[in-house]
Structure 1
Amino acid sequence: MSAPLAERMRPRTLEEYIGQQHLVGEGAVLRKMIDAGRISSFILWGPPGVGKTTLAQIIAHQLETPFYTLSAVTSGVKDVRDVIERAKSGRFFNQASPILFIDEIHRFSKSQQDSLLGAVEKGVVTLIGATTENPSFEVIRPLLSRCQLYVLKSLEKEDLMTLLERAVSTDVELKKRHIELKETAAMLRYSGGDARKLLNILELVVESAGEGDVVITDEMTVESLQQNPLAYDKDGEMHYDIISAFIKSIRGSDPDAALYWMARMIEGGEDPQFIARRLLISAAEDIGLANPNALLLANAAFDAVMKLGWPEGRIPLAEAVVYLAASPKSNSAYLGIDTALGIVKETGNQPVPLHLRNAPTSLMKKLGYSDGYKYAHDYDGHFVEQQYMPDELKTTRIWHAQHSPSEEKLYQQMLKCWKERYKEE
């Protein structure tokens, strides 16, 4: 039986590797290390199907060093120690350290990650971790400090088209079929920038076409996927589509749909922590100041899942989902911090006004540090008008209230304090 198309098309060299030119293009950081023949430990963070595993395999092949792989889903501390011992005994003098590739490293427990520290620090192995989750949340600080972090991006349309054209023209099985890519928009849309998903879709569409030549159209793609909604998702990436539907249902204030999509994730074996973490993000990003209790409840649900385990943990998750979906919505804080970050990037390091600076020494006092600062609690209403922004930005507005019932109270307080400054246009 032939291997799946995605496996048959897996690149073997950097020249065949598609995308991630910011890392492996000429002069890029990873390319320089590979060309020099020595790499340091690093973690690859990016969505599914963008080449994390493939890149690790190519690096090991190019450096001609032993390559060990572990899955965080199926491996324990004993497996980690066994691999480290094999790496020690199999290493030759002056040879580059063996590479230990850990897929889904975000699923490793603290004790599993601790068991890696010594070997990584001493150079017994060079660790390459792959994760779809933010490593700062999931990887312990001592291990993260010993690794570089490289972010992989979803593949661009041009990358995906290159992959499709290469597949139909070079794959040993597809070459036999005389395939014409007449329309590709549907395939690209359903793939979501995921190379593996795109090749799975292509393989499914070709198989659905029957014998003979194949002319691929968008209508043909949609029909094939509707008939086999799970077939193109053999490696389980559909949960990224479902989590998107889940979050958008909460944002759209539809608790029925949100519960449905969560049930789909639960039935599919999704990690409860993954769901709980998304609820925290949604509470902060989408509900925000319209109902600040949403973040508290989402955090409580996360804690409850950790304490209760599964399946009981589904109940506080469901409670949080209904509460978030039924809550009023505001993204003013989310927009506010992004606006502030944009201003900082554009204007650089603006000096702190002298009256806001601390003055712990007599020299600083002589220089005017803290001079003229008004202590708000000394004034009626615990407020006194003074400048808090840097001089060049003193009239800049960043936060704009969105006038939900809860947020309206904050807005009215700002109007009372600052008057004209907070009046909306």
Structure 2
Amino acid sequence: MPNIPLAERLRPRTLDEYIGQEHLVGRNGVFRKFFETGNVPSFILWGPPGVGKTTLAKIVATQLERPFFTLSAVTSGVKEVRDVIESAKRQRFFDAKPPFLFIDEIHRFNKSQQDSLLGAVEQGVVTLIGATTENPSFEVISPLLSRCQVYTLHPMEDADLQRLLDRALTTDAELRARDIEVRETAALFKFSGGDARKLLNILEILVGASEGKITLTDRYVTECLQQNIALYDKNGEQHYDVISAFIKSVRGSDPNAAIYYLARMLAGGEEPRFIARRLVILASEDIGLANPNALLLANACFDTVHKIGMPEARITLAETTIYLATSPKSNSAYMAINRALAQVGHDTNNRPVPLHLRNAPTRLMEREGYGKGYKYAHDYEGNFAELEFMPQGLEGTRFYEPNTGNAQEAKIAERIHALWKEKYR
């Protein structure tokens, strides 16, 4: 069937056909144990594109002979989730194992969509399998994440790509019908970036670019892909390295490198809103109080990109990227909330809020001393009244450390010192 893409024609149907991820599917891998015991917890597969997340999910369902429902987080809402759950309930009989519910790109589900899954997962109506290219710790709500095992998939090694290439050339009927000689693979594997699907997409482009005998050399691969970059990368499946380099270039105040990596992502078809979202995070995490306007611009960028789309969005993204890269940097707010969360996380005292900071809406609370001694700041000179706001035992604790290396926070540090004298030195 010539219209079926090569990647789909070569999709593994069993674990023995699956290439890569030996830590999961090898002899002692956890997925082998799934098939031995039949007991499969809800789990999330986390890894870059094209490493076999969807394939692995389908293999689990097929080999265990259990119903397999699929939802895409891009096109499904709460209604679709509930419809699938109801269908799963109707198909389950007596003590049969629950069907699988596979959600691709689960990180794109918002909180209400993820909340709608909780009950079904808790009650064992379905066994959830999620796939994501994003860190689940940040993208999946805690109640759902706590009920799932997370398995990390890695980019494919060159040896894995070589096995995949050999299999394609020897088992696919369409490729066998062509006279293909492989002399060099360095460029082919480099452009694939550890992505199996991308390797097969590139192979299709190379084969379709000419008739007759095909000799795969590094030069031929490079020249062919330079003419077809939009084709082989049109789904925006950029390797995490490019995204990471973009973020670190902005953080490192190099506008030229940042723009270069932005161009790499846009040329590869990366979703512009994904990039804009990263810029909002950068404005908060890495620029912060050194230049609060950065967050305003990043938010405006996100809204603008959402409204106008490509190709015009490239200008807004470029403007914001350069602004953030050349802005002074401070992660003081980021560090402050992390320190405070660490304190709250290990502090088992459940420290009571000081009485003078509590409201007294009833006479009983007033008699108990709620609100007694509170000083309304605006009644005092400079709108400041010295008062203890920390719970007992945390007096004088510092979570926020101003970065005095930039002018904005140097002023903040001066004001804190002027108000609180030695308390927060």
The residue that corresponds to 1:310 in the other structure is: 306
Q: CA 1:187–1:266 in 2, change beyond 3 Å: closer, same or farther?
A: closer
The residue that corresponds to 1:166 in the other structure is: 167
Once residues 239 and 151 of structure 1 are traced to their aligned partners in structure 2, the CA distance between those partners, rounded to angstroms, is 15
Deviation at 1:275, TM superposition (A): 3.2
Aligned residue pairs: how many?
Answer: 342
1:79 equivalenced with 2:75 (yes/no): no
The residue that corresponds to 1:323 in the other structure is: 323
Q: Tell me the SS of whatever aligns to 2:17.
A: coil
Structure 2 unpaired stretches of 5+: 332-348, 350-395, 399-403, 411-425
Once residues 214 and 316 of structure 1 are traced to their aligned partners in structure 2, the CA distance between those partners, rounded to angstroms, is 43
Higher alpha-carbon deviation: 61-70 or 248-257 = 248-257
Q: CA 1:309–1:196 in 2, change beyond 3 Å: closer, same or farther?
A: closer
Letter in 1 for 2:6: L
1:22 equivalenced with 2:23 (yes/no): yes
Letter in 2 for 1:79: E
Deviation at 1:328, TM superposition (A): 6.7
Higher alpha-carbon deviation: 31-40 or 292-301 = 292-301
Once residues 171 and 40 of structure 1 are traced to their aligned partners in structure 2, the CA distance between those partners, rounded to angstroms, is 35
Structure 2 length-normalised TM = 0.69
Q: Tell me the SS of whatever aligns to 1:124.
A: coil
Once residues 125 and 330 of structure 1 are traced to their aligned partners in structure 2, the CA distance between those partners, rounded to angstroms, is 45
State the Cα deviation string for residues 380-408 of structure 1 (Å, max 9, x = none). Answer: xx9xxxxxxxxxxxxxxxxxxxxx9759x
Once residues 239 and 294 of structure 1 are traced to their aligned partners in structure 2, the CA distance between those partners, rounded to angstroms, is 31
The residue that corresponds to 1:109 in the other structure is: 110
Q: Tell me the SS of whatever aligns to 1:23.
A: helix
Higher alpha-carbon deviation: 22-31 or 3-12 = 22-31
Contact 2:283 2:295 in 1 (8 A): no
The residue that corresponds to 1:178 in the other structure is: 179
1:235 equivalenced with 2:235 (yes/no): yes
Deviation at 1:306, TM superposition (A): 7.1
1:198 equivalenced with 2:194 (yes/no): no
Contact 1:5 1:199 in 2 (8 A): yes
Q: CA 1:250–1:26 in 2, change beyond 3 Å: closer, same or farther?
A: same
Q: Tell me the SS of whatever aligns to 1:177.
A: coil
Contact 2:43 2:149 in 1 (8 A): yes
Contact 2:156 2:194 in 1 (8 A): yes
Q: CA 1:318–1:298 in 2, change beyond 3 Å: closer, same or farther?
A: farther
RMSD: 3.9
Contact 1:239 1:265 in 2 (8 A): no
Deviation at 1:120, TM superposition (A): 0.5
Deviation at 1:206, TM superposition (A): 1.4
1:44-193 paired onto structure 2 within 5 Å: 44-193=45-194
Contact 2:69 2:84 in 1 (8 A): yes
Higher alpha-carbon deviation: 31-40 or 167-176 = 31-40
Once residues 330 and 309 of structure 1 are traced to their aligned partners in structure 2, the CA distance between those partners, rounded to angstroms, is 26
Letter in 2 for 1:11: P
Q: CA 1:164–1:265 in 2, change beyond 3 Å: closer, same or farther?
A: closer
Letter in 1 for 2:227: Q
The residue that corresponds to 2:225 in the other structure is: 225
Once residues 281 and 227 of structure 1 are traced to their aligned partners in structure 2, the CA distance between those partners, rounded to angstroms, is 33
Letter in 2 for 1:326: T
Once residues 90 and 225 of structure 1 are traced to their aligned partners in structure 2, the CA distance between those partners, rounded to angstroms, is 47
Q: CA 1:7–1:240 in 2, change beyond 3 Å: closer, same or farther?
A: same
Contact 2:51 2:156 in 1 (8 A): yes
Deviation at 1:304, TM superposition (A): 5.3
Deviation at 1:311, TM superposition (A): 2.9
Deviation at 1:308, TM superposition (A): 7.8
Deviation at 1:131, TM superposition (A): 0.5
Structure 1 unpaired stretches of 5+: 332-357, 359-376, 383-403, 411-425
1:42 equivalenced with 2:43 (yes/no): yes
Higher alpha-carbon deviation: 250-259 or 16-25 = 250-259
Letter in 1 for 2:7: A
Once residues 148 and 295 of structure 1 are traced to their aligned partners in structure 2, the CA distance between those partners, rounded to angstroms, is 40
Once residues 226 and 238 of structure 1 are traced to their aligned partners in structure 2, the CA distance between those partners, rounded to angstroms, is 16
Once residues 307 and 197 of structure 1 are traced to their aligned partners in structure 2, the CA distance between those partners, rounded to angstroms, is 31
Q: CA 1:46–1:31 in 2, change beyond 3 Å: closer, same or farther?
A: same
Q: CA 1:36–1:299 in 2, change beyond 3 Å: closer, same or farther?
A: farther
Q: CA 1:18–1:263 in 2, change beyond 3 Å: closer, same or farther?
A: closer
State the Cα deviation string for residues 274-305 of structure 1 (Å, max 9, x = none). Answer: 53335635985xxx6xx764685555555556
Contact 1:297 1:320 in 2 (8 A): no
Identical counterparts, % of pairs: 60
Deviation at 1:200, TM superposition (A): 0.6
Q: CA 1:144–1:296 in 2, change beyond 3 Å: closer, same or farther?
A: farther
Structure 1 length-normalised TM = 0.69
Deviation at 1:141, TM superposition (A): 0.9
Contact 1:71 1:104 in 2 (8 A): yes
State the Cα deviation string for residues 290-344 of structure 1 (Å, max 9, x = none). Answer: x76468555555555678883389798666422332247899xxxxxxxxxxxxx
Once residues 143 and 84 of structure 1 are traced to their aligned partners in structure 2, the CA distance between those partners, rounded to angstroms, is 16
State the Cα deviation string for residues 157-185 of structure 1 (Å, max 9, x = none). Answer: 11111111111111111111132221000
Deviation at 1:238, TM superposition (A): 4.2
